[in-house]
A = this chain, B = another copy of it.
Amino acid sequence: MIRVPAEQQGVLSEAWRACVGTGRLELALRRDYQDSLTLLQKEIGFRHIRGHGLFSDGMGVYRPYEWQGARRVHHSFTYVDQVVDACLELGIRPFLELGFMPGELASGGQTVFWWQGNVTPPSSHREWADLVRATLTHLVDRYGLEEVRDWPVEVWNEPDLPDFWEGADQAAYHRLYEVTAHAVKDVDASLQVGGPAVSPGADEGWLGRFAEFVERRDLPVDFVSRHAYTSGPAQPVPFGTYQTLAPAERLLEQFGAPRRELKGTSLAELPVHITEFNSSYRPDNPVHDTAFHAAYLAPVLAAGGDLVDSFSYWTFSDMFEEVGVPTALFHGGFGLLTHRQVRKPTYHLYAFMARMGRDVLARGDDHLVTRHPDGRVTVLAWAPPRTDLHTLRLSVPVGDTERGTVFLRRSSVDEERGNAYTAWRRMGSPRSPRPHQLDMLHDAAEPGRSHLRLAIEEFRVDVDLTLQRHEVTLVELSPVIEESPDWWDESRILGGGGSG
């Protein structure tokens, strides 16, 4: 029996929902994407959203042309505005990632992904700076400085990987950073700019050398960013990948890396954003669809906020095309939601987190206990990976009532409950489910719910939890105000013994 203290031990950081990842921004034009984002914002409520491809050709921003013999450039925001309008309307703000390179501004032809993002440096740094300035200026004009000041601006994505930045050329990245940071600050000094958005594979020197560079050149930098993943090498099958996974604590270690590596530099005190994290970095690894995945990430969500200012789940929706158009409803996509808004177990983990209170009362290997300002206590608990049954007993303080009762509501996802993936497998893995199958999948994705009443003894209740394999469970406790009248007699209700 773990005795949860009645006194607050700390505050639950909002870092877990400070940001979420998305497929390339062009996808935000889609209806399914926006339907998913609507649901997400209603039930979870992320603060920012970050994705690739702001400047990729599909967004149509950089538009050179000839007129009367001269070359000129339009900067066009037709789609940028549609995307940003949609996000703001749903209460989520851009975390701007500046990239990839417009085809006509690129110095080379190397691309990444099925959708061919160009990953080469600009052929003209002056034109790149114009593009950045024009974009930020437009956003400030349209949405107001007050608003845009709250959108971090990150320079490029994973420049330490040759797939994402031609030759993983550090000097070229530093130059891009310098030009970009100045361009951003030209628009307004209060805009936040940062980088270097390195991958978990970045050698240990990257962050340090970035610090050294910005220090030496006295460049503006408002935050530091890095990614985190824990999967092993990809073992491909058609339209899918299997991988090993390191234990979840490795994610937390990676979250801690920037502060460790930047200790002693002038960047040491800056906000740190993990601008992407997940178990596997593959958008076709079925692990993302499982209850295991929710149980695996639960301790990361519970603790990550101690280490960084944000850690952004990569990504909220399976509307994602880096390896092509998905060929089946469940295909191992990163999404918290499948196409057509079927909620995966990890979605529920986030939705459960969104119901936790501000004040932390206790935290352990398998649980987190919080209290809301109005006194309601909530418990998030999770089973250790690959364990069949797991028990947890908590003595929970429930406020200033010595006696009385508490209403306990429990919501669970595991291998059976809140698990559309299991249902889908049993249905025969229909690649493009029929409407009636989709309805069943939506039902199957509902968490299991149960409730009971507990007696308070000396300001506390005992909460005994048995967790099924890969269960993540949310327990919500509210004091009962009994309004049932004196004359209520359950035994007289059912009309028994009647002869009519």
The answer on a CB contact under 8 Å between A499 and B65 is no
The answer on a CB contact under 8 Å between A495 and B63 is no
Shortest C-beta distance, A41 to chain B (Å), equals: 15
A263 interfacial by beta-carbon distance below 8 Å: no
The answer on a CB contact under 8 Å between B449 and A446 is yes
The answer on a CB contact under 8 Å between A245 and B498 is yes
Across-interface contacts of A81 in B (CB, < 8 A):
432
Known: A451-B423, A494-B287, A495-B231. A60 touches B327 (CB 8 A): yes
The answer on a CB contact under 8 Å between A326 and B486 is no
- State in angstroms the CA–CA spacing of A386 and B235 once bound together: 57
Candidates B138, B426, B500; contact of A244 at CB < 8 Å:
B500
The answer on a CB contact under 8 Å between A324 and B60 is yes
Shortest C-beta distance, A38 to chain B (Å), equals: 11
- State in angstroms the CA–CA spacing of A447 and B481 once bound together: 26
Kindly report how many copies of this chain are found in the complex they form together: 4
Across-interface contacts of A428 in B (CB, < 8 A):
405, 407, 480-484
- State in angstroms the CA–CA spacing of A130 and B103 once bound together: 36
Q: Count of A residues near B, CB < 8 Å?
A: 105
The answer on a CB contact under 8 Å between B500 and A230 is yes
Please give me the residue from chain B that is nearest to A498 by CB atom.
B244
A124 interfacial by beta-carbon distance below 8 Å: no
A residues at B contact (CB < 8 Å): 29-34, 58-60, 63, 65-67, 72, 74, 76-79, 81-82, 85-86, 138, 142, 230-232, 235, 237-240, 242-247, 250, 279-280, 285-287, 290, 292, 324-329, 339-340, 385-386, 405, 407, 409, 411, 416, 422-423, 425-432, 434-435, 440, 443-444, 446, 449-453, 476, 478, 480-490, 492-500
6 A/B residue pairs, CB under 8 Å, sorted by A: A76-B326, A231-B495, A244-B499, A245-B495, A245-B498, A430-B481
